[in-house]
Amino acid sequence: MKNKISVVFPVYKKNNVEEKIRKYWEMLNREHQTEIIVVIEGIDRKEYLGLEKELKFAKIIWNEKRMGKGWAVRNGLAASKGEVIGFVDSDEAISPKEVSRLVRLVGKEGIVIGSRKPWHYRSKIRRILSSLFNFYIKILLGLKVNDSQCGIKFFRKEKIGKILKKLRINGFAFDAEILYLLKKKGEKITEEKIEWEDVGKSTVGLLSIIGMAVDILRIRFNF
C-alpha cells in the first residue's frame, strides 16, 4: 500500500507554476498517494480561478494579499493530511527526482532537510550572503545545519505536529524557526545534500535580508 504524502508549494503570484507543479505530482504519485497543496498569494481572483482550473488534482489555498512565504508554508502544512508532510519551492530549482528521494528518507529519519552546495549560486554576492546568514543562525540559534534556507523540508507528521501551532514567522526566516523549535523538542534533524539549480533571480532583496535578521532575533529571544 502506498504511503500518503502531502507536499506544500508556496507560490507568490502565478509565475506559470501549473506545469512545474504538475511534473512534481506526476513523479511523486507513481510511488506515493500524493496530496498536493498549493498556497498562492498576491494574485486577484480571476488568476486564482484560472490556476484552480489547471490544477484540479491539487488543493489550493488562496490569499489576494501578500502574507509571506512563512504564512504560506504554515497554512499549507496545517491543511496537510499525509503521514509525511513537507514543502518544496515551486521554481523547479530542485528536481522531482530529488524530492522523491528525500521523501523516501523520511521513513528512516523522521525529519529530512535539503542542503545546497554554496557554489551552485551563480551570484558571488548570494554565496557570501548565504554563508553569512547560516553562520548568524548557528551563533544565535545553535542550529547545527549548513543550509537552513534550502527550499525543501519533509517531516513525519507527528514530528512537525509538535510545533506547528507555535510557528509565527511569516517571512523568509520561517525555516529557521521550524528547525529551532524542533531542536528545542530534542528532535534529530537530518541534512541531506541535494542537486540544486540556480534557476533565476531571487525574490530575497536587501529589505528581506534585514527582516530575516530581525526575525532571527525574535525567534531567539521570543519577542
pLDDT in tens, 13-58: 877 889 999 999 999 999 999 999 999 998 888 888 888 889 999 9
Q: Which amino acid is located at 55 in the chain?
A: L
pTM: 0.92
Identify the three-state secondary structure at position 94: coil
| Helical segments of the chain, H only | 18-28, 45-54, 69-78, 96-109, 124-141, 157-160, 174-184, 206-221
CATH number for the domain spanning 66: value is 3.90.550.10
> Structurally, how many domains does the chain consist of?
1
Which grid coordinates belong to 80? 496537510
Q: CA-to-CA distance for 16 and 28, rounded, in angstroms?
A: 20
Q: CA-to-CA distance for 58 and 74, rounded, in angstroms?
A: 17
DSSP code of residue 55: T
pLDDT in the model for residue 16: 80
Domain carrying residue 39: 4-221
